[in-house]
Structure 1
Amino acid sequence: MTAQLVADLEVADRVRAAFTAEPGEVLAVIGPNGAGKSSLLHAIAGLVDVRGSARLGGTELLATPVRERRVGLVFQGQLLFPHLTALDNVAFGRRSRGEDRRRAEAVARDWLERFGIAELADRKPRELSGGQAQRVAIARALATDPDVLLLDEPFTGLDVSVQMALRIELGRHLRDFPGIALLVTHDAIDALTLADRVLVLDGGRVAQVGPPAEVAAEPRTPHVARLVGLNLVPDGDDLISFTPDAVTVSLAEPEGSSRLRWRGPIATLAPHGDAVRLLVHASPDLLADVTPAAATELELVPGQEVWLSAKATAVSRYGAREAGR
């Protein structure tokens, strides 16, 4: 049985993150570009210099030679060995540990079967589609029976329909995976559907940790708020979040003391379902949904100064920092 992972890592001057992950848990790592998400995974895998500690039960991973760490890594670009077949790619990890060819290939065939691509066993990577190649890459990582599975944006670059199918498949395998899975993603759907908990990195530091629904309901960074379609406004020691459809757009300053209000120019307008979604540079940037009729009546165009307001009863207010952080 895989043990708990307790990590406190510092990668150069870019990332400083402390967290824990439990056996059988999928921990999604999200944050803006440059937040240090991939660096965190690469540190655990031994691909970058790192200070600190990453204890897996009684084993210190950082003191363990990279080849001896029971860690599986899936990159966003597959990175399969081009000269090997799909079968040999999946068997590679076990063969490199000294397992005999027959046993390694049997395990590899089993994993190709689980991903529904057993008939592709003899194909080289250049003969595979992007989705097929990524299935092979994930099977290669899982075939080694890792204690920790590191998934670095595994759906990036794939067609939307392929992403959806692969997300469902991966979710099925992760439910049966006894180890710890760390999933770096930029997509809220991945975090909400695959993860047991979410770790938010911002500026190389941990900004928030919690169950997906909790993080989505009370985001503590603008990036997460935007991912889940919420507005986020700092207000002293509190944060205020609210949906774009809770915002009223007007050309004149709104009246009434019960309304929160902001002013700024329209940056963009775009269709959003049955509404027109505005991005307004209102310090901070805010989203507002209006009906097409209202957009036409107000003659809204990019660059136009508008007032935004929301009823105090339509916003959620909570502490800027999590309890205990």
Structure 2
Amino acid sequence: MTSRALEAPGLDARLHVPDRLDASLTAAAGDVVAVIGPNGAGKSTLLGALAGIVPAIGSVEVGGRSWTDPVVPVRDRGVGLVFQDQSLFPHLCARENVAFGLRTRGVPRAEARARADQWLDRLGVGELASRRPDQLSGGQAQRVAIARALAPEPALLLLDEPFAGLDVGVATSLRLELARHLAAFDGVAVLVTHDALDALTLADRVVVLEDGEVVQDGTPADVAARPRTAHVARLVGLNVVTQGGQLRAFSPVAVTVSPGRPHGSARNCWHAEVAGVAPHGEALRVLARADDGPELIADVTPASAIELGLAPGQPVWMSVKETSVDTYTMRP
């Protein structure tokens, strides 16, 4: 995806929740913004404050309209919400769950049901319209939840870990389906995720939260190439070593695994113990714990793994050349 120019009114938010959040977020109409960060960073608090569910100090403007001056009630904000636990009404069937938001906006019952059926068809669960949530699988229920959020055509779509808890195959299918709908979505979508794949494939922009503050904001490619926090570096699959006030990151493919301490140009060496070996594409990914603390990952060929006899508990040396290490100054 490519970020839209800031022409049409989108999202402009400046929010403060005491001891939890102090962040600003802007986006153009049509943008998908992924919000990532460690547990407790304030991601869900940010979504709640945008929706008006979490009391906050500051301002929220969506589509050129202020939601905070004067305060617009949650039900009138034009927000679509998707949670990781679906939060469907258990006593309503899928059709009535999707129609609910339309009905609260004054759409007549027959029209609301017809539009609900259309959205369920679009999400691939039209044949399940008469089933209640307890009769749906996790993936099916999440498709209903997404249909319910999109049906009223919200100005702001908030998605909180929408693929969490789903099987890998189900999550992959739903991710592709959601990407198709987000590409045609005229509002602003804000996606909270712990998965780098979501950020890299669904988002136009990535915002990194840490301790309730925005510490990085850029395109998915920029954030992945130059992560400013250890959490993001690990999220995109890089090794991270901190030294003083610096973060040093390097790719698993740049790491050499050997039975003895290496000689030559490799300045960065760690004595470690293999914790696990698992397939990773055409390579094998080796996870090891260094004696002085950091966890390290290396990608080796199957032939090298056999030659080294890599197995859990085995002592090894892991090294990387200085030319393969990117060094950043960590946030204060």
After TM superposition, the score normalised by the length of structure 2 is: 0.87
Number of paired residues? Answer: 321
Shift of the 271–118 alpha-carbon distance from structure 1 to 2, 3 Å rule, reads closer
Question: Which of 65, 79, 90 is 1:71 aligned to?
Answer: 79
What is the deviation of 1:35?
1.7
Q: What pairs with 1:283-322 in structure 2 (closer than 5 Å)?
A: 283-291=293-301, 294=304, 306-318=316-328, 320=330
The one-letter amino acid of 2:149's match is A
Question: Which of 268, 271, 277 is 2:278 aligned to?
Answer: 271
Does the CA-based 8 Å contact 1:253-1:307 persist in structure 2? yes
What is the deviation of 1:285?
3.0
1:27 aligns with 2:37: no
- Give per-residue Cα distances to partners, 1:270-316, cap 9 Å, x unaligned: 22333241232344432223455655665666566654321122233
Question: Which of 190, 197, 204 is 1:182 aligned to?
Answer: 190
Does the CA-based 8 Å contact 1:263-1:305 persist in structure 2? no
Unaligned stretches of 5+ residues in structure 2: 1-6
Task: Please give the alpha-carbon distance, in whole angstroms, between the structure 1 residues aligned to 2:54 and 2:328.
Answer: 37
- Give per-residue Cα distances to partners, 1:29-64, cap 9 Å, x unaligned: 111222221111111112222222222244332421
Shift of the 276–197 alpha-carbon distance from structure 1 to 2, 3 Å rule, reads closer
The one-letter amino acid of 1:200's match is V
Task: Please give the alpha-carbon distance, in whole angstroms, between the structure 2 residues aligned to 1:126 and 1:312.
Answer: 55
Q: What pairs with 1:161-172 in structure 2 (closer than 5 Å)?
A: 161-172=169-180
Task: Please give the alpha-carbon distance, in whole angstroms, between the structure 2 residues aligned to 1:161 and 1:303.
Answer: 32
What is the deviation of 1:117?
1.9
Task: Please give the alpha-carbon distance, in whole angstroms, between the structure 1 residues aligned to 2:185 and 2:169.
Answer: 24
Task: Please give the alpha-carbon distance, in whole angstroms, between the structure 2 residues aligned to 1:275 and 1:158.
Answer: 25
Q: What pairs with 1:190-269 in structure 2 (closer than 5 Å)?
A: 190-234=198-242, 239-250=247-258, 252-256=260-264, 258-266=265-273, 268-269=275-276
The one-letter amino acid of 2:270's match is R
1:86 aligns with 2:94: yes
- Give per-residue Cα distances to partners, 1:226-282, cap 9 Å, x unaligned: 2221112345665432111211234544333x4332435426122233324123234
Does the CA-based 8 Å contact 2:11-2:28 persist in structure 1? yes
The one-letter amino acid of 1:278's match is L
1:280 aligns with 2:289: yes
Question: Which of 116, 141, 148 is 1:140 aligned to?
Answer: 148
| Alignment-derived partner of residue 3 in structure 2 | none
Stretch of structure 1 that moved more, 2-11 or 165-174: 2-11
What is the deviation of 1:97?
2.0
Identity of aligned residues (%): 57
Does the CA-based 8 Å contact 2:269-2:319 persist in structure 1? yes
Task: Please give the alpha-carbon distance, in whole angstroms, between the structure 1 residues aligned to 2:243 and 2:167.
Answer: 40
Q: What pairs with 1:26-175 in structure 2 (closer than 5 Å)?
A: 26-62=32-68, 63-175=71-183
Shift of the 97–2 alpha-carbon distance from structure 1 to 2, 3 Å rule, reads farther
Does the CA-based 8 Å contact 1:265-1:303 persist in structure 2? no
Shift of the 34–264 alpha-carbon distance from structure 1 to 2, 3 Å rule, reads farther
Task: Please give the alpha-carbon distance, in whole angstroms, between the structure 1 residues aligned to 2:183 and 2:64.
Answer: 25
Does the CA-based 8 Å contact 1:3-1:23 persist in structure 2? yes
What is the deviation of 1:212?
0.8
What is the deviation of 1:136?
0.9
Stretch of structure 1 that moved more, 259-268 or 127-136: 259-268
The one-letter amino acid of 2:34's match is A
